[in-house]
Amino acid sequence: MKRDKKITAAGAVLIILALACAVFLCTNTRIDPAVRTAYETQAQPVDQSGDFALFLQMTGVQDTTAAPEKPSGVVPYGLALGAAALAGLILFCLCVPRKKRGAALFAGGLSLLLGFVLARLVFWVCNASFYLGLYSDPLSLFRVRDGGLCMTGALLGAGLGCYIASRVFRDPELSFPALADAMAPGAALFIACERCHEWVLLKQNYGLPAAAEGIFTAQGDYGPVMNTARLSSVAALIILAVIMAIRCRKTGSRSILFLLLYGTIQVLLESLRQDLHMLWGFVHIQQLTAFLAVFAVMAAISVPLRKIIRTVIVSLAAAGVFVFLEFALDGRIRPPFAFMEQNVKLCWYIVFGIVLAAYLIYGLLLFRKYGKETPES
């Protein structure tokens, strides 16, 4: 009994720390640290050419002739992010057996805290060339208020938290697959709420130009653009409905289904973004990690070895097609048919969607066979 109370208390402390990080540190501002430093130390504009020009475009800073505003106190986005994390945590706890709710608080709190830490760490590492090169300040890792978080890192942190908690408790009902199954709906709800906050509170519309206005577009500087934040929010809600509606016979199946659906959809949504967020050259890092996550899940549920080899071949073929389509969407490959020239990107995205749907169907077939092999006890 005393151990349960200590676990619950530890979970409450972790939750408070995680929510405090979200509320007081996550401003998601577009303040460029190099611009701020230029005014605080030199009181003069900085060179806006070369790599720094790309970083300005990535962060959305337009005017470097005026000192950027420093965030202070709690901002609406921080409160909204904390609310999204709390909603995901509540759903996670509801998906855990009632008698294990105290342990669920610990696992959830640890996952939230590690999610925040890795969300920042992954973003910083992916932009290390700026922070260690142009900016030359390793301590920028801890300046979260300057902006910069990564959803991929947040999901990795949530998964790591579940794994650590499972090793601490060593309880069959709190195994890593069981905790991951409970975390999947909470993660989907968190993503839906967080992306919703982006387009409601921040008015961030990072998508490619759209041919006409619609429910998934927003008004950009030069006309309608795809509202990828709204698309991501709706997609996450659909994923949440699917994984909650489908009855999974094996422990771990719900989290596998979540990764399959979220990863494949994210491959397309990252292609629609046009904000230079987390790029290595022309490669969208979160698009790459989403595809690798889907491939890893497919390989894990592909047994025996013959199916694993087939999955590797299919995935390599799909990756080759996606790379080809990214070059085509970038205008480096001419369309093979004359009718495609009237609306080149739309045609290429239709092809992109068809190939991605086929890859997802292959994964769902693997998932269906995997779920039928051995019912959970």
In a domain, 151, yes or no: yes
66: in domain: no
- Is residue 328 domain-resident? no
Rounded CA separation 65/68 (Å): 9
Number of structural domains the chain divides into: 1
User: Which is nearest to 255 in space by CA: 285, 310, 197, 296?
Assistant: 296
Nearest Cα residue to 28 out of 62, 83, 88, 76: 76
In a domain, 58, yes or no: no
pLDDT in tens, the chain (377 residues): 677 788 888 888 999 998 888 877 766 444 444 444 443 443 334 454 444 454 444 444 444 444 444 545 567 778 888 899 999 999 999 999 888 888 999 999 999 999 999 988 888 888 777 677 655 667 767 777 666 788 999 999 999 999 999 999 988 889 999 999 999 999 999 999 988 887 776 666 567 777 667 777 777 666 777 788 888 999 999 999 999 998 877 889 999 999 999 999 999 998 888 766 677 766 788 899 999 999 999 999 987 778 899 999 999 999 999 999 988 888 788 888 777 877 888 888 899 999 999 999 999 999 988 876 554 43
pLDDT of residue 136: 64
Q: Is residue 141 situated within a structural domain?
A: yes
Side-chain half-sphere CA neighbours of 222 within 13 A = 4
Helix axes 76-94, 2-25, angle to 10 degrees: 150
Of 168, 369, 142, the closest CA to residue 249 belongs to 369
Containing structural domain, residue 173: 1-29+71-202
Q: Has residue 101 been placed in a domain? A: yes
Residue 103 lies in a domain: yes
Is residue 276 exposed (0-12), middle (13-18) or buried (19+ Cβ within 10 Å)? middle
Q: Which residues contact 252 (CB under 8 A, 6 or more apart)?
A: 177, 178, 180, 181
3-state helix, strand, coil in the chain (%, to 5): 70, 5, 25
From the list 292, 286, 322, the residue with the least C-alpha distance to 126 is: 286
- For residue 268, give the amino acid letter: L
b/e code 142-173 from CB counts within 10 Å (16+ = b): ebbbbbbbbbbbbbbbbbbbbbbbbeebeeee
- Has residue 99 been placed in a domain? yes
How far is CA 35 from its chain centroid?
27
